[in-house]
Amino acid sequence: MSLPDIIREFDRVPASVVQQAAGFQAAILADVAGRRGALHGRIKALRPDMHVVGTAFTVDVRPGDNLMIHAAMSLAKPGDVLVVDGKGDQTAALMGTIMMTACRKLGIAGVVIDGAVRDSLEIEEMEFPVFSVGTNPNGPTKLMPGRIGHPVSVGGVTVHPGDFVLGDADGVVVVERARIESLIPLAAKKVRDEAHRIEAIKGGDVAAKWLDAALRAAGVLKPGESL
């Protein structure tokens, strides 16, 4: 039996876990997730100071058509991030000021879209977080079917509804719903370790202690040889 095009209910990362993970950088979470889950760099914040965190509400649309995004906005819950597979299309904007204003009023945490948006200056003034592949002044059509609440491919990453989403100046990372809680202590440890390393560098310890061994393993240095 096939699934309906619109899946209205699915499990989400608990709000308490979202709150705990929200304070980490996308880079930290991507590292402790095994350098997986980071969307392609073409998807970036409209402005570097934008930050988004929440649970994925997935939308699959045809290029240049935003009918299903309007439907998704009607179904999304506060704290959800609209994650839209727009097929990387930049010939028309799928969202603009009117839709973003409605998203904010509905409590939607932000938008991550593998496609274009418009009204970027107004969106910046709204301080509503939007991550996209760019902008285009063309408006979309509202004609074509799509899917809501299904797994989507956005920026080369498979995103399931309810997954954890975080975006900052470096880009967007997605972590599987069932995995994010287990990564929080690892992320906290990485933050501490990096802080200690930075302090050591500032104190004059700039040598990378692992480098010689890595160069030998790569065959750049001979056994026993050092830089």
Residue-range domain boundaries for the chain: 15-182, 185-217
- Tokens standing for residue 90: 């930049």
Spatial CA neighbour of 68 closest among 77, 79, 57: 57
Task: Between 2 and 182, name the one with better pLDDT.
Answer: 182
At 2 the pLDDT is 83
What are the pLDDT digits (tens) for 28-51?
999 999 999 999 999 999 999 999
83 or 2: whose pLDDT is higher?
83
Q: Please check the confidence at residue 1 and state whether its pLDDT lies above 80.
A: no
Domain formed by 15-182, architecture? 3-Layer(bba) Sandwich (3.50)
3-state secondary structure of 2: coil
pLDDT band at 76 (very low <50, low <70, confident <90, very high): very high
How many Cβ atoms sit within 10 Å of the Cβ of residue 140? 27
pTM value is: 0.94
pLDDT in the model for residue 224? 87
Cβ distance 116 to 137 under 8 Å? no
37 with 200: CB under 8 angstroms?
A: no
User: In the chain, what percentage of residues exceed pLDDT 70?
Assistant: 100
User: pLDDT (tens digit, 9 = 90+) per residue, 90-126?
Assistant: 999 999 999 999 999 999 999 999 999 999 999 999 9
**Which of 131, 136, 109 has the alpha carbon at shortest distance from 54?**
109
